[in-house]
Structure 1
Amino acid sequence: MRTGPAHPAQRVSVIVPVYNVQAYVADCLASITAQTHRELEIIVVDDGSTDGSGEVCDRLAARDPRITVVHQANRGLSGARNTGLDHATGDFLALVDGDDILAPEFVAELLADCLEFDADLVVTGLTPFERSAPVFQVDSAREVLGTPEEIERLVTGTPTRWEGPTKLYSSTLFDGLRFREGTLYEDLELCPRVLPRIRRAVVRADRLYGYRQRSGSIMDRTRAGLSPDLIEVLERNIAFTNQHFPPDAARRLRRSFLVHAARSLEYLAPGDAWTASRGFRRAHRLFISRHARSIASDCGLSPAYRGLMLLSGLSTNGFRRAFAVARWSKANLPVTLSRVSSPAARDTTVREGSTALTSGTRPSSPPRAVSFVYRGQLDIERSRIAFLLAAACRAFESVDVVHLSPGLGSDSEALRTFTSGFPGVRSVTTLPAGPRGALDTRRRLSRLLVPDARQVIGVGFSAGPFIPGRLAVWCINGIPEERLLTNDSRGHRLAVQAAWKMAGRVRAGSVVVVSQPMARLAAGRLRPADTLVIPNTVDTDEFRVEAAAAPEFLTYQGGGAPWQGLERLAQVWSALHRQEPHVRFRVISRDPRTQVLADGLPDEAIEFVSADDPREVGAWLTQARLGFLYRAPNLVNEVSWPMKFGEYLAAGVPVVLSRCGWDLEGVVRRHECGMIVRWEDPPERTADLIAGYLHRLGDDRPTGLVSAVAELKHDAWLDKLASRLQRAVEGRAV
């Protein structure tokens, strides 16, 4: 990684099309103005936004003279990019969508490669993200492409590199060349037209472009169904390559475009997306039929895949079923597309890096598809499900999500919105899964699982018995004893025993739990399996604010379930207020049961607030002097790991824990990031200890908060879980 701008005199034009991204454009432009290379011309094209995006851009342009805002009537993404190209005067160009984010070194790193290797094009990778800011890593490994055959691999290789962003271009590549307006897939159409102009290209191994996954984006709408525009673009590309490339090169590029159509059909999710793509599928059949002769005679494709492609010209439904069976018959490995060996690797000058790439090499791609099956309520378990699903999408190329609804209300629409933020999700399905219908659900789920995704990651204690066959991984977040905290009747105790008996029959290769006590419990009651403890982690980006406020409130954040000990905590707060009348209290919750915390306190001493935006919650938390997790010593609490613990730490709040045998106590002791009290102590005694701790802290925060957050950092645990999921699904010894 370079420490500063190596070529400060080179002017780089950054073109940013903007359309109705008011919530994101400020972050996008902030990431551009913060580039370590300072000589920038930032051209923002407001493409007829109606949500105030243009006004946001104007305000930011008034603060930074490098930003120029062009307002125009709506012409679409291609039209906005073309306007930016018309205004650009830089030696090099970058295209950045208005809701995305660049790594600080994006321009400096790619520009240095352009100049060092005399390259017309440098390519980095995408880092998908949703709400939390992307985590970038600069990697010095790169591949230099110098011959026409090597440069073709930008289109014909795996993965392809045809998307417009993620690149730094020499401005000469766009002399007399613009994006086609009025169509989707404009990047794909431009690609073969740029190829003949490239003398040398560099492909980097890192991912310095942050691509935002959000509902309503162009890519989100595309994933909900494919447009016939894709087939029109591929047809025009084939016509162009036949006219402008030598016969061998045209044949290789034509093969790539035909395979692109088949692969698009292959990864089109069943269900609504499949139905919504009726026009695309009709155009696909005609497209394949027109090129059937060249497909049948192309020895660069395996006979199996040639047969599948030709079948898709007759029936897209038949292709989907046959392809799934073909993959399954080959032990879930993708059907080989090419029988042609790759060109011999040339010796290319590659800068320092222990994982340097040379021509003809590629980083390994993610493994095949899996099914992600969970049973429960999304609104209650959203954070944990998001973490587990993010790990699955990081580990596998495609993930089919199945929600087993326990009869608490179908949230399939909310689930689709939620999963739209995960780039690897290819289908979302909801099945009823009440307590009396396990056998029927198992049969329906067995029929639903796509043959290439029959390896299952089960999520939720109650999900295991509903899933047929052996689970690759079983993620357990809670235990059935929770129901006994609200009703300890004989019937409920028998139901808990039955739940454990059914769970004991579940076969799983690996079990993922949130705590060591839960791991010990699982080892004693479930079938033998490799066990991995993954705590609920700390997402510092989601709860980070620019400047921490002076700590003021003693804060409780969470619900009002019986196991959360709010009646006892209310007594402690009341006693603490009698000792320290100036202390103020805050409750962050929508649950009306948390109103019990106001018992014994005057109205002016306590406030209740709630919000959906994590940043607003984070701002409230940074005003907290202490955060409370005050729970009774019982089995449910002992095996748990509350998400709120990480949120307190991420916001810089020391935590008051009641002692109940959970792993959180070890974190607090190791890092001295809070205090531990005894549940059974009288409220006055506990209040006295808390008051003493507050006086010792003053206005400071414990220094151990930083190391505690580092121990529970989100991304490190995400990588660890993704690696375990891969190995478990592949059947390797862990």
Structure 2
Amino acid sequence: MKNPLITVIIPVYNVEQYLEKCLDSVINQDYPDLEIMLVDDGSPDQCGEICERYAKKDSRIKVIHKKNGGLSDARNVAIDVALGEYITFVDSDDYVSDDYVATLYELIKKNNCKISVSSYIRFGQDDELKDDNKIIKEYVFSPENAIKTMFYQKKFDTTAWGKLYHRSLFSDGLRYPVGLLYEDLPTTYKLFQKSDKVAFSTKKTYFYLRRSSSIEGSPFSEKKYESLLKIIEEFEIYKLQNLEFSKAIDCRILNFLFHLLFETEKNSHYENTIFGMIKKYRLKVLNDFNARKKTTISILLSFFGISVLRFFYTFGKS
């Protein structure tokens, strides 16, 4: 029986120093039946030329050049024209193991579901990576349990990458919100909700690069703040309609707030505003025994003020 075509979508913007490693890891997949879509999102460097060069040597690669519209827009453009029965995303500064696609597809085939998830390794540019796949476990979740697990950040998170989706999940116009940062937060749970089951493997097949010039590493901005407000507003509406997810969503919102708090400047308006929002959620999450230990510790430290939180955050990073 012929394997289904799987589309790998790679948005590309200003990553020329990392792009070749990413593309090499995708074209060398054990799973051969791929459509590889490179979306040059108006990149100002040599990324467009690199994409075209790879397309000339691998017929599975298709290149889309477009005006800069952001990560969501780049993904959406590719989703609209993708031919694969399944879709997965890879960020262009990351790379994947040779069995990334095969692992995700085997999970779907084995469990007859529409979404699969594998684990990942977060690394810095100077880190030495080691094989960490000696013990591999697999789990199958109902959509409800998958969403709760994701919001509690227990086994996996909301990232678009590291997952394989049946294309039917996008068929009713569900797309990533254009103009919004952290676009996977208000999107992935909707895809999970539409699936029958979600299969997960602890096998680490995705390698996520931490870099200062990424969205995560860039300084706090008005756009980050506006995205934060819009995402929280959407989550609050979703909670009213789905009370069973209230505690898990509150926990994810609080972790999101802690994450952004440490990006703000000391004594800034943003710092004070976000800390005020943390105060709103912390007591509810403190009583939630499903919250991660570091979330509970962060809550307890928050009662001593922002400066204490910052000190322990810096200490923890070092």
SS of the equivalent of 1:184 reads coil
Native 8 Å contact 1:152 1:195 kept in 2: no
**Alignment partner of 2:18 out of 16, 24, 30:** 24
Equivalent residue number for residue 263 of structure 1:
255
| Pick aligned residue for 1:217 from 193, 211, 214 | 214
Pair 43,141 (structure 1): closer, same or farther in 2 beyond 3 Å: same
Change (3 A) 1:299 1:266: closer
Give, as a single letter, the amino acid of the residue that structure 2 aligns with 1:300: D
Q: CA RMSD in A?
A: 3.5
Q: Distance in 2 between matches of 1:298 and 1:27?
A: 42
Q: What residue number does 1:81 align with?
A: 75
Q: Is the 8 A contact 2:258 2:278 kept in 1?
A: no
1:46–1:267 Cα change, 3 Å: closer
Would the alpha carbon gap of residues 258 and 27 (structure 1) be closer, same or farther in structure 2, given more than 3 Å must change? same
Q: Which amino acid aligns with 2:266?
A: T
Letter in 2 for 1:162: T
Q: Does 1:54 align with 2:35?
A: no
Query: Could you tell which deviates more after superposition, 46-55 or 132-141?
Result: 132-141
* Paired AA for residue 203 in structure 1: F
TM-score (norm 2): 0.83
Structure 2 residue aligned with 1:179, among 164, 176, 181? 176
Asked whether the equivalents of residues 128 and 212 of structure 1 are also in contact (C-alpha less than 8 Å), the reply is yes
Assess, with a 3 A threshold, how the Cα gap between structure 1 residues 280 and 197 changes in structure 2: closer, same or farther: farther
Q: Which has the larger radius of gyration?
A: 1
**Other structure's SS at 1:205 match:** strand
Cross-structure match for 1:236: 234
Measure how far apart 1:370 and its partner are. Answer: 8.6
Q: Which of the pair has the greater relative contact order for Cα pairs under 8 Å at 6+ separation?
A: 2
1:282 alignment partner AA:
T
Is the aligned partner of 1:123 residue 2:123? no
Deviations 1:344-385 (A, max 9, x none): xxxxxxxxxxxxxxxxxxxxxxxx9794xxxxxxxxxxxxxx
Amino acid at match of 2:166: S
Check 1:284–1:195 CA distance in 2 against 1; reply closer, same or farther (3 A cut).
farther
Q: How does 1:149-188 map to 2 (within 5 A)?
A: 149-175=145-171, 176-188=173-185
Give me the whole-angstrom Cα distance separating, in 2, the residues matched to 1:82 and 1:116: 29
Partners of 1:123 and 1:297 lie apart in 2 by 26
Q: Aligned partner of 2:270: which letter?
A: G
Residues 1:67 and 2:56 aligned together: no
> Which aligned pairs between 1:14-413 and structure 2 lie closer than 5 A?
14-129=8-123, 130=125, 134-138=129-133, 140-146=136-142, 148-175=144-171, 176-221=173-218, 227-228=224-225, 229-243=227-241, 245=242, 247=243, 249=244, 253-266=245-258, 273-275=264-266, 278-279=269-270, 281-283=272-274, 285-286=276-277, 289=280, 300=288, 318-320=304-306, 371=315, 398-400=316-318
Percent of residue pairs bearing the same amino acid type = 26
Which residue identity does 2:162 align to in structure 1?
Answer: T
Render the CA deviation track for 1:282-337: whole Å, top value 9, x for unaligned: 15525754x79xx55995369xx99x96x99xxx7854467699xxxxxxxxxxxx
| Change in CA separation of 1:274 and 1:296 when aligned onto 2, cut-off 3 Å | same
1:284 to 1:172, Cα distance in 2 relative to 1, 3 A: farther
**Aligned pairs, how many?**
309
Whole-Å separation in 2 of the counterparts to 1:83 and 1:13: 13
Normalised TM-score (structure 1): 0.38
Separation of aligned partners in 2, 1:165 and 1:156:
18
Structure 2: 5+ residue stretches without partners? none
Structure 1 residue runs of 5 or longer lacking an equivalent are 1-6, 326-367, 372-397, 401-734
**Letter aligned with residue 63 of structure 2:** V
Given the superposition, is the C-alpha separation of residues 284 and 255 from structure 1 closer, same or farther in structure 2, using an over 3 Å criterion? farther
* 1:146/1:200 contact within 8 Å kept: yes
Are the counterparts in 2 of residues 16 and 95 from structure 1 also a CA contact under 8 Å?
yes
Q: Secondary structure at the match of 1:45?
A: strand
Superposed counterparts of 1:468-483, under 5 Å = none
Structure 1 residue 226: deviation in Å? 9.7
1:193, distance to aligned residue in structure 2 (A): 1.8
Residues in 1 aligned to 2:28 and 2:22: alpha-carbon distance in whole angstroms: 10
